[in-house]
Structure 1
Amino acid sequence: MPEIPVAAGPEVRLHVTISEGSGTRTLLVVHGGPDWDHTYLADPLLGLADLRRVVLPDLRGCGRSTRGLADDQYTPDAVVADLTVLLDELGATDVDVLGFSYGGLIAQRLALAAPRRLRSLIIASSSVLPVPADAFAGWAERDERRAAEAAVWSDAAFDGPELTRAAALAGAPANVWRPDALAEYRRRLAAVRFSAEWMRSWRAGTLPSARPEDAARRLAAADLPILLLHGRQDMVFPAALAEEAATIIPAARAVVLAEAGHMAHVDQPQAWSAAIRAFLI
């Protein structure tokens, strides 16, 4: 698990987990949060090591990567620059990229910034299209499941990484659809090294949007194979947007898993992994 320098002035080093296996091409995984780390995605992605060298970095400010930067150093563009250098340092070309949740927005930016570096793009539990304000209108169960997390964010008793952790734990019933998957998800959360570096500018309203402008049209023009992988009961990004994006982008296809929420890889790990494996072969 090396630490790889990707920027100077100020110096940024990314902590990276790299799979051991027979895969020679690279699958770069961009985690969400962003104040999380990559560990909640390691299973089942490390199980693809027979197909790809799986590379899971902690983004700047996250996990075991460099923290303590000025707030204006935490931006989507800075992360894209970090990941581009990381690929250079690893000698990775013709790369498959998987972005999860917030990381799905970053992955789109990377694909648009360096389309010739990518072989394919997997957008998991995220969205190419903007989420309409009324996307979840009338979904009472979502309101009930998300209430506990909303209460944590407004509770002055929490601050810093403990706020990020408390919100993640409170939001577990909203992010995992199947009750029998909750214990496994909470086990994963217990191992995440949460931070609060990105939170400051996010709460202040100064964090630049990670969503690329006019992403659907631009990704269609890039003619890059895209898998839109989603849970039907996702309460963060509506599954219908993945299906709609697949009708707009000729090289994209949507796989929407039943009985799966935002953390579809926890709700339906075998089906989620199988969809990725079929796409990469």
Structure 2
Amino acid sequence: MTTTENRMITTERGAFNVRLRGDADGTPVVLLHGWPESSYCWQGVAAHLPDDYRLIMPDLRGLGDSERTLDDSAYTKQSLAADMLGLLDELGVETFALVGHDWGGATAQEMALAAPERVQRLVLMNIHVLPNARGNQAAQDVIRQRGAQSLWYQFFQAAPNLPEAMIPGNEDAWLGHFLRTWSREGFPDAAFDEYVRCYAIEHTPATGAAYYRCYKADTARWAEIAGTRFAMPGLYIYGRHDPVIIPAFTQHLDDVFDDIRLEELDAAHFVQEERPSEVAALIQDFLSPVAAG
């Protein structure tokens, strides 16, 4: 049985924990997690992917076991993309397939925009497509009509000092709200315990909140790149019961992809943990031309 190796890798931009699995000479596949998780979220998917893939699963800055940086500007999705491209440089990986969920999906898109010649194929999961102005506007219109109630946690985390004051010691309750209510059929206990462990690491309430505290800078950039097209083939895997990334976000994907597939699963937000075998099968099928090449 193939095992997963954990390594702490230091680059010019910081120190990042990375889970590595599979053939070191195989097809590189980079998988990026979202908030409030870590690279642990890919364990189930990885178990269903071929051993001849070289799976590279980093913890993003401020989450998992990676560096906690107390500077909100370090968490713009462009900055996180630079982190990950630098990490891949350190690993000697030039070209790769790229998979991203939630904020990992936004980071993956920024990587694909910054270095399109390096990203062979792009898989996104339950995240808005950054340059998809029409689809994002349609979704925002629906969210506003509903009073934006589903976004309360974003406003909470943007408030100065509030997460730092209220989350420590309450990690189970804080994470339980999202991991257990944003899932269709429960959430794996081992994964939940792992994310509680990581969120209890000093400064994590602040670094987790930083993903949202830099939202003004992020959205200003995304307005500038509206309509920019992705050069590589894309696959969008969507859990149709997601309470935050609502179905309207999947509209008009053709506006920004020349080649895009949309696959909907009977899941909510955390598709990779709710439906790991199905997600793995979709990824493997989509990446088969790259692996064959």
Is TM (by shorter chain) over 0.5? yes
Please list the CA deviations of residues 99-124 of structure 1 after superposition, one character each: whole Å capped at 9, or x if unmatched.
10111111111100000011011111
Residues 203, 275 of structure 1: alpha-carbon distance in 2 compared, 3 angstrom cutoff = closer
Q: In structure 2, the residue corresponding to 1:126 is in which secondary structure?
A: coil
Q: Partner of 1:31 in structure 2?
A: 33
Q: Partner of 2:120 in structure 1?
A: 119
Q: In structure 2, the residue corresponding to 1:133 is in which secondary structure?
A: helix
Q: In structure 2, the residue corresponding to 1:116 is in which secondary structure?
A: coil
> In the alignment, is the contact (CA less than 8 A) between 1:28 and 1:98 conserved in 2?
yes
> In the alignment, is the contact (CA less than 8 A) between 2:120 and 2:232 conserved in 1?
yes
Q: In structure 1, the residue corresponding to 2:64 is in which secondary structure?
A: coil
Q: Structure 2, unaligned stretches of length 5 or more?
A: 1-5, 289-293
2-side partners of 1:97 and 1:246: how far apart? 19
TM-score, L = length of structure 2: 0.77
TM alignment of 1:4-83, pairs within 5 A: 4-7=9-12, 12-21=14-23, 24-33=26-35, 35-83=36-84
> In the alignment, is the contact (CA less than 8 A) between 2:28 and 2:56 conserved in 1?
yes
Q: Partner of 1:190 in structure 2?
A: 193
Task: Please report how far the alpha carbon of residue 53 of structure 1 lies from its aligned counterpart in structure 2 after TM superposition.
Answer: 0.7
Q: Partner of 1:271 in structure 2?
A: 278
Q: Structure 1, unaligned stretches of length 5 or more?
A: none
> In the alignment, is the contact (CA less than 8 A) between 1:27 and 1:96 conserved in 2?
yes
TM-score, L = length of structure 1: 0.80
1-side partners of 2:171 and 2:272: how far apart? 21
Q: What is the identity, as a one-letter code, of the residue corresponding to 1:91?
A: G
Task: Please report how far the alpha carbon of residue 201 of structure 1 lies from its aligned counterpart in structure 2 after TM superposition.
Answer: 4.2
> In the alignment, is the contact (CA less than 8 A) between 1:109 and 1:212 conserved in 2?
no
Q: What is the identity, as a one-letter code, of the residue corresponding to 1:5?
A: T
Residues 163, 123 of structure 1: alpha-carbon distance in 2 compared, 3 angstrom cutoff = farther
Task: Please report how far the alpha carbon of residue 4 of structure 1 lies from its aligned counterpart in structure 2 after TM superposition.
Answer: 1.3
TM alignment of 1:124-273, pairs within 5 A: 124-128=125-129, 129=132, 130=136, 132-136=139-143, 159-160=166-167, 162=169, 165-178=172-185, 182-184=186-188, 186-192=189-195, 193-194=198-199, 195-201=204-210, 208-209=217-218, 212-213=222-223, 217-219=227-229, 222-246=230-254, 249-257=257-265, 259-273=266-280
Q: What is the identity, as a one-letter code, of the residue corresponding to 1:196?
A: P
Q: Partner of 2:3 in structure 1?
A: none
1:3 to 8, 32, 37: 8
Residues 247, 158 of structure 1: alpha-carbon distance in 2 compared, 3 angstrom cutoff = same
2-side partners of 1:100 and 1:138: how far apart? 26
Please list the CA deviations of residues 103-161 of structure 1 after superposition, one character each: whole Å capped at 9, or x if unmatched.
1111111100000011011111112132633435788xx97xx69979x9799896345
Residues 7, 78 of structure 1: alpha-carbon distance in 2 compared, 3 angstrom cutoff = farther
Query: How many residues in Structure 1 have an aligned counterpart in Structure 2?
Result: 267
> In the alignment, is the contact (CA less than 8 A) between 2:63 and 2:208 conserved in 1?
no
Identity among equivalent positions (%) equals 23
Q: In structure 1, the residue corresponding to 2:235 is in which secondary structure?
A: strand
